[in-house]
Amino acid sequence: MAEEFVTTKDGVEIFFKDWGPREAQAIMFHHGWPLSADDWDNQMLYFLSKGYRVVAHDRRGHGRSAQVSGGADMDHYAADASAVVEHLDLRNAIHIGHSTGGGEVARYVARYGQPQGRVAKAILVSSVPPLMLKTPGNPGGTPIEVFNGYREALAANRAQFYIDVPTGPFYGFNRPGAKISQGIINNWWRQGMMGSAKAHYEGIKAFSETDQTDDLKAMRIPTLVTQGTDDQVVPYKDASLLQHELIKGSVLKLYDGYPHGMLTVHADVINPDLLAFIRE
């Protein structure tokens, strides 16, 4: 088992975890905004116990990776993920992305994974593609005012904002009867505050304004698209339904009433379903 750094072509140190037998099939996890590889702890331990090699990295400006001034965009995110893959020489790998990490997976697969023949399957969980922002061509998207509100709250008091998000919409803890976990809230806050305010601020544009329609159309590997129907962060009708439509041959699985952070609060249900798709 290892926790190491790889240096990208533009000189950025990216932190990653690499657990399990080197000869086993690898599963690489891509985290959401503004978190870190630690958001996958549950899944990494689960799949490790099933005999897989599990890898996760901190996106640039997030977690333990370098807090560089630039590169908060999907192109750099995907290139950084590829740097980890190439450093470890992962082949026949499964790539799983949550939220912004799903956008990262789509661009990685389209630009690096498929052309290099390194990726076997992909799983997009509550993911942001093809486009979150409301535009004339995407009338069902989220208005720019919402994302401007994120930026304002982050700039004004990031520490409080990073309590409000997990306490409220991210895990559905604002819903009547929700079983609230203070530990989950604290861990979200901890991960967020480890990262760079600048990277997180600029990352809002990356996850909300990047049109990834072409990335999704380019994906030709077996892909599972999954999301909860009570996702208050990424509307499922404008995300998972369109992902399924754009990725030829993809499998769609919706979870009734599950929130954006369903991987954490419903890991007991999600993990076996991911395993079943991987083993198909």
Distance from chain centroid for Cα 211:
16
Q: What is the pLDDT of residue 19?
A: 97
Sheet architecture: strand order including 251-255? 2-7, 13-19, 53-57, 26-30, 93-98, 119-125, 223-228, 251-255
Q: What is the pLDDT of residue 238?
A: 84
Average of per-residue pLDDT across 153-160: 98
Handedness of CA 8, 58, 121, 278 (dihedral sign): positive
Residue among 263, 100, 126 at smallest CA distance from 187: 263
What are the residue ranges spanned by the domains of the chain? 2-279
Per-residue pLDDT tens digits for 172-190: 999 999 999 999 999 999 9
How many Å is the maximal CA-CA distance in the chain? 49
Q: List the catalytic residue out of 30, 31, 76, 260.
A: 260
Under the banding of pLDDT at 50, 70 and 90, the label for residue 1 is: low
Q: List the catalytic residue out of 18, 231, 244, 250.
A: 231
Average of per-residue pLDDT across 138-143: 91
Average of per-residue pLDDT across 21-34: 98
Distance CA 17, CA 5 (A): 9
Under the banding of pLDDT at 50, 70 and 90, the label for residue 79 is: very high
Distance CA 124, CA 177 (A): 28
Q: List the catalytic residue out of 99, 127, 196, 208.
A: 99
Of 46-50, 139-143, 259-263, least confident by mean pLDDT is 139-143
Under the banding of pLDDT at 50, 70 and 90, the label for residue 140 is: confident
Active site residue 231: yes
Residue 109: pLDDT above 90?
A: yes
Q: State the fold for domain 2-279.
A: Rossmann fold (3.40.50)
Average of per-residue pLDDT across 193-212: 98
